[in-house]
């Protein structure tokens, strides 16, 4: 398998989905966005809590994230709705996203209130859907694919079955010339020595170690001086003996190749190969940051069973154990728990590579079928 069927966009990137999105630039516009979504359920609605009343760092993160949605390769067209008096105006997002013809925007105050804004949005959304349906899939090599790797609701088997299998996919995609993103930096702590030997250059090594030390300081501030040495009692009961063991299980998802660059939250990669993004470990913030950076698909490992998906692209759920896979069958896509019964990680990973190809071609994931369209923008400061 060396090619997939995707949608070519005007900037040369390739989508694995052809979504029409309706998104708010500020939380005040959420009701209009959701109102349009009720009347035109074929669109993906993106609402959030940001857009105004934040310091400059958070405004920059939010703008980068929203612009990343607007320019996303899985998005055929997007309607951005603002209020009119907010900081992050719909026009600003469209401009930041290097405005092209797939982006339209208007403000609620300018069109005369909520019902009128919904009516206008419905009309635009229907036109966008009709236009999007004319775009056809074409064949592309996997160098056009960016896969984001995530874990959530982990259990004692996550680092043993699901994460190493996802790591096989990461190495395969990097070998194909594609791009992989790994995030959740707080879960790397204790693996500094190992990660330092896996950076593509001295500059990347400095960025990586700087990032880890900033996260360590943050964790210490929040959790006390021993936070970097101890692991949760539940982790220990599950069999994890040290922070190194726990974090090694987490970074398995990135495979074994060198780290090419360290990215800010929602920052688009400019290189191919393995990337590390600075996100919190909290799932939906991390998922949103990596999709906003342009990942078209995600592999998400889970042991306890997470139903999380994204409006921006398919999230493939990789179960770490067969009993949860069966119990939450409608939320899961792949059973890596078979490694527990003797399936090799190489074999399990190879099967998962096959599923990635099918999902890229259009096979819907469980989270897509469940309309699990979760979106949350990371913030670092206070709201004002």
Per CB under 8 A, 224 contacts other proteins: no
Q: What share of the chain is helix, strand, coil (3-state, %, to 5)?
A: 45, 20, 35
Measured from the CB of residue 279, what is the shortest distance to other proteins in angstroms? Answer: 22
* CA atoms lying within 13 Å on the CB side of residue 307: 10
Among 339, 352, 356, 367, binds other proteins (CB under 8 A): 339
End-to-end CA distance of the chain: 51
Shortest Cβ distance from residue 230 to other proteins (Å)? Answer: 9
Distances (CA, A) of 238 to 116, 159, 228, 325, 339: 56, 11, 19, 19, 17
Q: Taking each helix axis as running N to C, give the angle between helix 345-361 and helix 163-175, from 0 to 180 degrees, rounded to the nearest 10.
A: 60
Residue 149, both tokens: 């790797």
Stretch that binds other proteins, among 39-47, 57-65, 131-139, 246-254 (CB under 8 A): 246-254
- Report the b/e string of 257-274 with b at 16+ CB within 10 A: bebbbbbebbbbbeebbb
Instruction: Using the minimum distance from each CB to other proteins, give the nearer residue, 113 or 239.
Output: 239
Q: Does 136 bind other proteins (CB under 8 A)?
A: no
**Position 345 contacts other proteins (CB under 8 A):** yes
What's the closest the beta carbon of residue 165 comes to other proteins, in angstroms?
A: 11
Provide the H-helix boundaries in 101-191: 108-111, 114-132, 163-175
Distance CA 355, CA 248 (A): 25
Looking at 39, 133, 241, 370, which residue binds other proteins (CB under 8 A)?
241
Q: Is 340 in the site for other proteins (CB under 8 A)?
A: yes
- Comparing CB distances to other proteins, the nearer of 236 and 282 is 236
Identify which of residues 60 and 156 has a Cβ nearer to other proteins in the complex.
156
Question: In angstroms, rounded to a whole number, what is the distance separating the alpha carbons of residues 58 and 379?
Answer: 6
**Selected binder of other proteins within 2, 12, 342, 382 (CB under 8 A):** 342
Contact in structure between 349 and 168 (CB atoms under 8 Å): yes
Looking at the Cβ atoms of 265 and 334, the one nearer to other proteins is: 334
Number of CB atoms found within 10 A of residue 47's CB: 19
- Number of residues engaging other proteins in binding (CB under 8 A): 29
Q: How far, in Å, CA of 67 to CA of 266, rounded?
A: 9
Secondary structure of residue 100 in the 3-state scheme: coil
Under rule CB under 8 A, residue 305 binds other proteins: no
Q: Is 238 in the site for other proteins (CB under 8 A)?
A: yes
Min CB(170)–other proteins separation in Å: 14
- The residue whose two tokens read 């590579």 is 353
Q: Binding of other proteins at residue 43 (CB under 8 A)?
A: no
Task: Give the residue, chosen from 6, 73, 249, 307, that forms a contact with other proteins under the rule CB under 8 A.
Answer: 249
Q: Does position 350 bind other proteins by CB under 8 A?
A: no
Residues from 145 through 174 that contact other proteins (CB under 8 A): 156-157, 159-161, 164
Say whether residue 239 binds other proteins (CB under 8 A): yes
Q: For other proteins, which is the closer residue by CB, 42 or 241?
A: 241
- Work out how close the CB of 192 gets to other proteins at its nearest, in angstroms, rounded to a whole number: 6
* Interface pick for other proteins out of 85, 194, 369, 380 (rule CB under 8 A): 194
Residue nearer to other proteins on the CB measure, 346 or 383: 346
Helix, coil or strand: residue 80: strand
Q: How far apart are CA 218 and CA 158, in angstroms?
A: 25
Single out the segment in contact with other proteins by CB under 8 A; choices: 39-47, 203-211, 240-248, 305-313: 240-248
Helices 283-292 & 56-70, crossing angle to 10 degrees?
A: 60
Helices (H) then strands (E): counts for the chain: 14, 14
Q: Which residues of the shown chain bind other proteins in the complex (CB under 8 A)?
A: 156-157, 159-161, 164, 190-194, 229, 236, 238-242, 244-245, 248-249, 252, 339-342, 344-345
């Amino acid at each position: 398998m060396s090619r997939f069927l995707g949608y070519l966009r005007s900037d040369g990137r390739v989508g694995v989905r052809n979504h029409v999105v309706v998104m708010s630039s500020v939380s005040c516009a959420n009701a209009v966005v959701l109102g349009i979504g009720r009347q035109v359920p074929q669109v993906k609605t993106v609402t959030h809590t940001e857009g105004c009343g934040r310091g400059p760092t958070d405004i920059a993160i939010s703008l980068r994230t929203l612009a990343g949605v607007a320019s996303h390769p899985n998005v055929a067209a997007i309607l951005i709705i603002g209020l009119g008096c907010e900081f992050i105006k719909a026009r600003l997002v469209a401009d930041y996203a290097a405005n092209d013809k797939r982006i339209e925007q208007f403000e609620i105050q300018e069109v005369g209130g909520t019902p009128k804004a919904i009516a206008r949005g419905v009309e635009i959304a229907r036109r966008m859907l009709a236009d999007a349906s004319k775009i056809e899939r074409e064949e592309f090599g996997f160098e056009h694919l960016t896969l984001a790797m995530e874990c959530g609701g982990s259990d004692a088997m996550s680092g043993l079955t699901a994460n190493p299998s996802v790591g096989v996919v990461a190495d395969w995609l990097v070998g194909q010339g594609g791009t992989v993103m790994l995030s959740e930096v707080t879960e790397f702590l204790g693996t500094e020595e190992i990660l330092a030997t896996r950076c593509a250059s001295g500059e990347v090594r400095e960025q990586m170690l700087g990032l880890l030390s900033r996260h360590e300081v943050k964790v210490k501030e929040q959790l006390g001086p021993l936070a970097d040495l101890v692991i949760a009692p539940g982790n220990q009961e599950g069999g994890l003996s040290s922070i190194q063991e726990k974090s090694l299980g987490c970074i398995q998802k990135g495979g074994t190749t060198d780290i090419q660059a360290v990215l800010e939250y929602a920052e688009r990669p400019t290189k191919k190969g393995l990337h590390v993004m600075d996100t919190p470990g909290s799932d939906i913030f991390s998922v949103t940051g990596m999709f906003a950076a342009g990942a078209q698909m995600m592999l998400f490992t889970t042991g306890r069973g997470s139903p999380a998906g994204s409006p921006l692209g398919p999230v493939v759920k990789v179960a770490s154990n067969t009993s949860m896979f069966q119990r939450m069958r409608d939320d899961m896509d792949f059973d890596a728990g078979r490694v527990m019964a003797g399936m090799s990680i190489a074999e399990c990973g190879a099967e998962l590579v096959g599923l990635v190809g099918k999902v890229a071609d259009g096979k819907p994931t469980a989270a897509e079928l469940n309309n699990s369209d979760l979106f949350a923008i990371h913030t670092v400061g206070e709201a004002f």
